[in-house]
Chain A
Amino acid sequence: MTRREMLLGTSAAAAGAALSGCGKAARKFPVSNVSIVKASGYTMDVYDTVYRMVAGHNLNVRGKRIVLKPNLVEYDARTSINTHPTIVHAVYEAFLKLGAGDVRIAEGPGHRRGTLDLADAAGYFSTIAKFEDSFTDLNTDAVAKRRIPQPLSKLSSLYLPHTVLDCDLLVSVAKMKTHHWAGATLSMKNLFGLVPGAVYGWPKNVLHWAGIPETIVDLHHLFPKQFAIVDGIVGMEGNGPIQGTPKYAGVLVAGRDPAGVDATCCRVMGIDPKQIEYLRLARGEENLVEGAFRQVGENIRSVRTDFALVEEWKQIRAA
């Protein structure tokens, strides 16, 4: 039995318990808007595209404290691991233009300890003026302990950074990628980067031992005020989230409901969202069907781009 099999074995049992719910009726979720917008590349046009997309969701952000959480993991010039800095900057500008009182970019990478060095290598310093002034390293930010309400994982509490605990809206600015442990990593899995490395280490392996899908959902529940944007212009297929290959999909996906955004991204990637365990745990299968979300902009069929899947994940391919 590999570590992955062991972890998935325990999570499957927990998922079964959570979904069976002792015979209770399945929970219903309100139908949320998920927008899909075509974007051909990381060019100046994308600033206007992102602004229109965010504005279309009628978020009340005037005077609010916004934290943007990109996916910044490792840098390798040969592939597309991180949320592109142009997208992060475009989202940053969009929220300022919409009247946000303060917009911070914040991330706590899981492998590399030199977060600023990583951000520099990934192009964040050269793309975003005075990047360091608007950035918080979540791995080393001040922390507070938070109890997890009704945890699905083996964790009962987590230390979390004040920057994200104190914000009015957390915006997950994720990358569209396959993931060798979770199937796909999108806006919900991106929240692993909120967990402080200075407490839990690099990697934040406590989350893996507590159950990957379960901790994804637990973290999601700890932050009820979220918005999600996924950079799928160039994503990653195959052995993601680090060793895969770049995949052009030419889309941005956004919405107030991260699970809805991630389920839609899965469909864009040719993945059945009902096969992604953390989405099942978060919503239940019946709330992951296509009609569960109101698609705005492009329809999924017009942008579907099948991402290559490694052998271990072939079963998640959508029909």
Chain B
Amino acid sequence: MTDWKTRQNGDGGWAYSRGCSWTEPTVFVLLAQAASTPDRESLLKGIRFLSSIGRRDGGCSPQPGVEESTWVTALVALLPEDAVNGQQRRRAIDWLKSRTGQESGWSYKLRQRLSGNKDEFPEGWPWFPGAAAWVIPTSLGILAFERAIRRQDPETDELQKRVQEGKRFLLGRMCADGGWNHGSSRALGRDGDSYPETTGIALLALSGGVVSARDASQMERAKAAAHRHLANCRTAEGIAWLRMGLAAHGENAAGAVEPVRRTNMDEALMTLAGAERNPLLA
């Protein structure tokens, strides 16, 4: 079992690998602890670190020194009840509701329409305000909203609408091979290859159900792509997300190799992948 306490920084957070604390690895370590045997003292210190990244606008910053709320807000909204209080979660969800990729803003869409582009621009989430939406932050946004819906958020209909938009975004960014990369499925007319980790996380985000029969057939292709990746993937990050994504669709599979766990994120993700019940879907 990983000794998270010895890897914890003095400020209560965890580094990605080594060095200063960041919000993302701290959230994933707390989730990993929740999925295994938590160390109460370590947990409390971690939660204290997270209180330093909350911002006045309701969002969360990736590190205390960064003066901007970003995609990590969705991660904080995914923490268990004992790690984040109802008010913090509510504020995080509200912040996420007000954020979309720049390409789904009215001025961009208007310019596209005027230039004859009839593409749709479903609303996903960006990594950073002012940028376009991408696969990972959109997947995390969907998971955070679905969790809020399960907790009977008073604005369920609005959240449900964004979840469906997010899923449309993901399905629209699927690569020709059935998986996902960071979110650029074609460049200059050429298909991009998918990655293991993004295929896994998108599958996880799409596990709460899709809309149409066509979507369902896309999901079958996605699962096949995930199995192909899992047979060849050598990284802990990739294997962990693929296992989580497939397990969420009722397909349990191990990776072909036991990967080298190089970072705190690798350790935390592998713990989550091995958990009986994934706290990201709780």
Contacts and interface: CB of A to CB of B under 8 A. Distances in A.
A114 B131 contact: no
Interface in B150-170: none
24 contacts: A2-B117, A76-B193, A114-B266, A132-B262, A140-B16, A140-B17, A141-B19, A144-B65, A145-B65, A145-B66, A199-B62, A199-B66, A200-B131, A201-B71, A201-B127, A201-B131, A202-B134, A202-B136, A203-B134, A203-B182, A206-B130, A242-B192, A310-B188, A312-B188
B229 to A, nearest CB: 13
A298 B254 CA distance: 54
A1 B66 contact: no
A243 B22 CA distance: 33
Contact of A243 (B102, B126, B130, B187): B187
B282 interface: no
Given A140-B16, A201-B134, 6 more contacts: A1-B112, A112-B195, A140-B15, A143-B65, A145-B67, A310-B188
Interface of A: 1-3, 6, 76, 111-114, 116-117, 121, 132, 137, 139-145, 159, 180, 198-203, 205-206, 208-209, 239, 242-243, 310, 312
Given A112-B195, A143-B66, A199-B70, A209 B15 contact: no
B134 A205 contact: yes
Nearest to A118: B235
B197 A113 contact: yes
Contacts of A202: 127, 134, 136, 182
B128 A199 contact: yes
Contacts of A199: 62-63, 66, 68, 70, 128
A242 B187 CA distance: 10
Nearest to B114: A1
A139 B184 CA distance: 20
B71 A198 contact: no
B267 interface: no
A239 B195 contact: no
Interface string B122-159: 00001110111010110000000000000000000000
B56 to A, nearest CB: 18
Contacts, number: 111
B115 interface: yes
Interface of B is mostly: loop
Given A1-B117, A310-B188, A205 B132 contact: yes
B20 interface: yes
Contacts of B66: 143, 145, 159, 199
B262 A200 contact: no
Given A205-B126, A209-B102, A198 B63 contact: yes
Contacts of A114: 197, 235-238, 262, 266
Nearest to A142: B20
Contacts of A111: 181-182, 195
A14 B193 CA distance: 34
Contact of A200 (B103, B127, B187): B127
Q: Which of A116, A132, A198, A202 has the most CB of B within 10 A?
A: A198
B118 interface: no
B278 interface: no
A145 B63 CA distance: 12
9 smallest CB-CB distances across A and B, nearest first, come from A201-B127, A1-B115, A140-B16, A205-B131, A117-B235, A142-B20, A114-B237, A116-B262, A206-B131
